[in-house]
Structure 1
Amino acid sequence: MGGRSADALYALAWRVLGTVPERAGRRAFDRIADRAWRSRTDGLRQLEANLRRVAGPGATQAQLRALSRAGMRSYLRYFHEMFRLAHTPRETVLGRTDATGIDVLEGHIRAGRGVVAALPHMGNWDHAGAWIALRGTPLTTVAERLRPESVYTRFTAFREGLGMEVLPLTGDGAGTAGRLARRLREGRLVCLLADRDLTDHGVEVDFFGEPARLPAGPAALALGTGAALMPVSLWYEGDRWCIRVHEEIPPPAAGDRAARVREMTQELAAVFEGAIAEHPEDWHMLQRVFTADLDPRAAPAPGPSPAPAPVPDARRSR
């Protein structure tokens, strides 16, 4: 799809889908998901490669295919909800959300302590951002630049309209890391997707029994600013959005800075692993994460997802 076509399609979806009845839109997006699943796109094949690690060696091919179909439907549900979100009533966003652990996170913010909320690509992260902003806690996040630039601009404007401050991953990387650190020192909330490394400074961790690369930024920011590093998992239950804020990952008492960042990132990976294992169909990871797949000869290279991105290298953000 060309740049102009993509921009026009996104613009149309944001304009029209808010007026289409929710159930009708969901059925249409389920059909789109099923077509993508049957067509064996690069993204679908990478999703299955990732889910194979989650399901374990005992999963049959039929079970894996059923799981990837459910995963594609969940992923397209995210898109459908995203295009509708600006038109979704406040009462719906708040009333259809079930959350646990949020009182601890909000308590840190009220006390003036910043929080790094680190999320995997699960459920609907845009809804989660809108939901907490509606509760009175604005947030800052980082977005991967998309092509064409007009699509990136649309996503940025959309998220800003939900109450988020959106900073670019590239083009101002060092400045972005510094601004995130300042927000945390001001006692604010920073939300970062943290299960896929987009930099050259990722940390290799054990993830579902094999090496994978996760961004170092969330742990480095928390360590450098004194903010709380809190994993957050998201999933769907029927028509409801579910959010769990997990316990803070405290900084290790010993070790140099690099070792402490590695240890905190490994603990983050362990929390993500448990959350994804409980709701594997809601893990929208159509890109490479595992070290074995990062060799360009080993797996297809799906395009970027329109999600907020991991933070750039924050080790010099003091």
Structure 2
Amino acid sequence: MGTTRDKLVDGLYGLGWAGVKKLPEPAAVALGRRIADFAWKRRGKSVLRLESNLARVVPDATPQQLRELSQAGMRSYMRYWMESFRLPTLDPKRFGTDVEMKDEHILREALASGRGVIVALPHLANWDLAGAWAVGHLGVPFTTVAERLKPETLYDRFVAYRESLGMEVLPHNGGAAFGTLARRLRSGGLVCLVADRDLSSSGIEVEFFGATARMPAGPALLAQQTGALLLPATLYYGDSPKMYGRIHPAVEVPTTGTRIEKTGVMTQALADAFAWGIAGHPQDWHMLQRLWLDDLTDQGERP
């Protein structure tokens, strides 16, 4: 039985999905900006964490520049939510014009190979919109993994929302996700994974903006086990209503080394591609949690 707080959180998200999608697009954009600015001015834990993370990305920024960057980051984050609430109501034909993906041919050629494709991306811009683009523009359904949220009813809302866009959604903590993903890849399918934050505390250590962070081993392990192609992708908003992105060249499986060594090399290659995209558009990186090992304890996040 859910707590009063759980029910409140679920109810607020429910209002968002029910209400925002009915607003005209300019009104939704304006509402998102007002909410972002209100949250930013309160200087809560999430805003301060975002600012601390951005300080790693832009180490030469002054305190004033960091504040301005975190405000832009909160506006970008709320744009993600406003877009996501409205996505199920949009004409799929819009995805071909609302999203502009550089080097799209890399993804198309990888899919045509029949080997299966893993697209790994960071929390940049709107990864749900990128997924809707893959389904609506490329005509390719895919499988992904979602973190189990609390309350359970909120997780169910996210699953139903993403499934309405044409995604198959597996729970992160269920034990069977890896095997299901491997089967989809062996049949030539597409798997998309947000992969810049390790949720298991047992990920691969990588060098990321000059310090050590952990990122999930799953994308690299899946590529090794199934022979699927592993493609990094990065996204950003820019100054127009469009979302932009880039499909990066495939991360190759090393020909020598143990499985752990190969996984480390491949995960570092993903981290490097992610860093390239984040450095170019730091305001669109929605990382409001601790990421670097310096900011973590062995037991998890510091209170």
TM-score (norm 2): 0.95
Structure 2: which 5+ runs fail to align? none
Q: Where in structure 2 are the equivalents of 1:46-195 lying within 5 Å?
A: 46-56=49-59, 58-134=60-136, 135-170=138-173, 172-173=174-175, 175-195=176-196
Give CA-to-partner distance per residue, 1:103-127, whole Å, 9 cap, x none.
2212222221111100000010111
Structure 2 counterpart of 1:18 = 21
User: Structure 1 residue 61: deviation in Å?
Assistant: 0.2
Task: Work out the CA distance in 2 between the residues paired with 1:178 and 1:150.
Answer: 25
Which one-letter code corresponds to 2:43 in the other structure? R
Task: Work out the CA distance in 1 between the residues paired with 2:258 and 2:97.
Answer: 45
User: Structure 1 residue 93: deviation in Å?
Assistant: 2.2
Give CA-to-partner distance per residue, 1:39-58, whole Å, 9 cap, x none.
111111111111000001x2
Distance 1:259-1:38 versus aligned 2 partners, 3 A rule: same
Residue identity over aligned pairs, in percent, reads 48
Give CA-to-partner distance per residue, 1:174-222, whole Å, 9 cap, x none.
x111000111111111000110000132011100011111111111111
Give CA-to-partner distance per residue, 1:52-106, whole Å, 9 cap, x none.
00001x2100000100000000000000000000111223222121111222212
Which one-letter code corresponds to 1:179 in the other structure? T
Distance 1:297-1:258 versus aligned 2 partners, 3 A rule: closer
Which one-letter code corresponds to 1:263 in the other structure? V
Which one-letter code corresponds to 2:56 in the other structure? R
Which one-letter code corresponds to 1:258 in the other structure? I
Give CA-to-partner distance per residue, 1:268-299, whole Å, 9 cap, x none.
11111111000000000001110101128997
Structure 1: which 5+ runs fail to align? 302-318
Q: Secondary structure at the match of 2:277?
A: helix
Which one-letter code corresponds to 2:23 in the other structure? V
Checking the alignment, whether the CA contact within 8 Å between 1:145 and 1:168 is kept in structure 2 is: yes
Q: Secondary structure at the match of 1:200?
A: coil
Task: Work out the CA distance in 2 between the residues paired with 1:41 and 1:180.
Answer: 37
Structure 2 counterpart of 1:254 = 256
Structure 2 counterpart of 1:205 = 206
Which one-letter code corresponds to 2:182 in the other structure? A
1:240 aligns with 2:242: yes
Task: Work out the CA distance in 2 between the residues paired with 1:266 and 1:127.
Answer: 26
The runs of at least 4 consecutive aligned structure 1 residues that moved more than 3 Å come to 296-301
Structure 2 counterpart of 1:309 = none
Task: Work out the CA distance in 1 between the residues paired with 2:253 and 2:158.
Answer: 34
Checking the alignment, whether the CA contact within 8 Å between 2:201 and 2:214 is kept in structure 1 is: no
Structure 2 counterpart of 1:196 = 197
Structure 1 counterpart of 2:223 = 222
- Aligned CA RMSD, in angstroms, stands at 1.5
Checking the alignment, whether the CA contact within 8 Å between 1:18 and 1:87 is kept in structure 2 is: yes
Structure 2 counterpart of 1:30 = 33
Task: Work out the CA distance in 2 between the residues paired with 1:121 and 1:52.
Answer: 17
TM-score (norm 1): 0.91
User: Structure 1 residue 133: deviation in Å?
Assistant: 0.5
Task: Work out the CA distance in 2 between the residues paired with 1:146 and 1:80.
Answer: 19
Checking the alignment, whether the CA contact within 8 Å between 1:118 and 1:192 is kept in structure 2 is: yes
Checking the alignment, whether the CA contact within 8 Å between 1:292 and 1:298 is kept in structure 2 is: no
Q: How many residues align?
A: 298
Distance 1:8-1:229 versus aligned 2 partners, 3 A rule: same
Structure 2 counterpart of 1:313 = none
1:2 aligns with 2:5: yes
Q: Secondary structure at the match of 1:140?
A: strand
Checking the alignment, whether the CA contact within 8 Å between 2:142 and 2:190 is kept in structure 1 is: yes
Checking the alignment, whether the CA contact within 8 Å between 2:106 and 2:248 is kept in structure 1 is: no
Q: Secondary structure at the match of 1:86?
A: helix
Q: Secondary structure at the match of 1:243?
A: strand
